A = this chain, B = another copy of it.
Amino acid sequence: MRITLIGAGNLATNLAFALQEAGHEIVQIYSRTTVSAQELAAKVNIQAFTSQISAISNDSDVYIVSISDKALAEIAPQLVAGRQQALWLHTAGSMPMDTLPTTRRGVLYPMQTFSKQKRVSFRAIPIFIESAETADLEVLRQLASSLSDSVYELSSADRKYLHLAAVFCCNFANHCSTLAAHLLEKHGIPFSVMLPLIDETSQKLHSLPPAKAQTGPAVRGDQNVMNEHLNTLHADREPHLAQLYQLLSQSIQDFQHIPLKEQN
């Protein structure tokens, strides 16, 4: 397919490589910032890039919009204007499909954490798709399947919960490591000693549901250890970490005693 890529951020960068590997032609790259557009164009070895919406090509089959959620809402009308014969897709987990004000619209949401510094293989990434027109769903499924082995159809309403769950599993879990790294750094212990523990924590979830995989003082009800940890955090002048410690421990205990099915 002939594809124009709108955006040059973390996801757009990883997507550009994956599209090329799957044999698609990237017609042009747009970014608000010329240098970003130019850099990504250079990386995937194409000539055409622009930072002017008016200069975006009119002859692509598919336009994939992979920009910040805020920018997406703002510039979507200008993007699609005059290019409504093509299929327009956005890649935002949190935005409904109708953010794109055109008939042939859809969503291609690859659920992964992308950093420019680290290339990821798209084949194992679950991609969630949705389209307004039945005819386009086939095109979209074909496109998604050319990138990944795990393609699911999901409505905007359900994708909202999926994206929220991803924030907990990925963004918040990663931040727990940032807090740990902060404590370790203060006391001269290298963060790298944590890696086997972090790896096993995620590996366990392949064979146990997270509530069953839970270990540590909170799930054991070990109040002595929890009090000692809270005292340590306060003595270390980390009231903010102490607050998170207390709330997360309480939440672990709440979730342990109420079977999931009855939790509503």
Chain A residues with CB under 8 Å of chain B are 10, 68-70, 73, 94, 111-115, 117-118, 120, 124-126, 150, 152, 154, 158, 160-189, 191, 193-202, 204-220, 222, 224-225, 228-229, 232-233, 236-237, 240, 243-245, 247-248, 251-252, 254-255, 260, 263-264
Q: Is the interface of A mostly helix, strand, loop or mixed?
A: helix
Q: Which residues of B contact A117 (CB under 8 A)?
A: 207-208, 212
Report the nearest B residue to A204, measured CB to CB.
B118
Q: Which residues of B contact A188 (CB under 8 A)?
A: 158
B243 adjacent to A181 (CB under 8 Å): no
Q: Which residues of B contact A217 (CB under 8 A)?
A: 69, 94, 167, 171
Q: Which residues of B contact A112 (CB under 8 A)?
A: 196-197, 200
Q: Which residues of B contact A111 (CB under 8 A)?
A: 193-194, 196-197
A70 adjacent to B167 (CB under 8 Å): no
In the bound assembly, the distance between CA atoms of A144 and B233 in angstroms comes to 30
Report the nearest B residue to A183, measured CB to CB.
B165
> A171-B252, A202-B199 known; A178 and B240 CB under 8 Å?
no
Q: Which residues of B contact A199 (CB under 8 A)?
A: 202
A178 adjacent to B210 (CB under 8 Å): yes
Q: Which residues of B contact A197 (CB under 8 A)?
A: 111-113, 126, 166, 169-170
Instruction: List 10 additional A-B contacts (Cβ < 8 Å) besides A68-B220, A168-B183.
Output: A164-B232, A165-B180, A165-B184, A165-B194, A168-B179, A170-B215, A171-B215, A172-B176, A174-B204, A177-B213
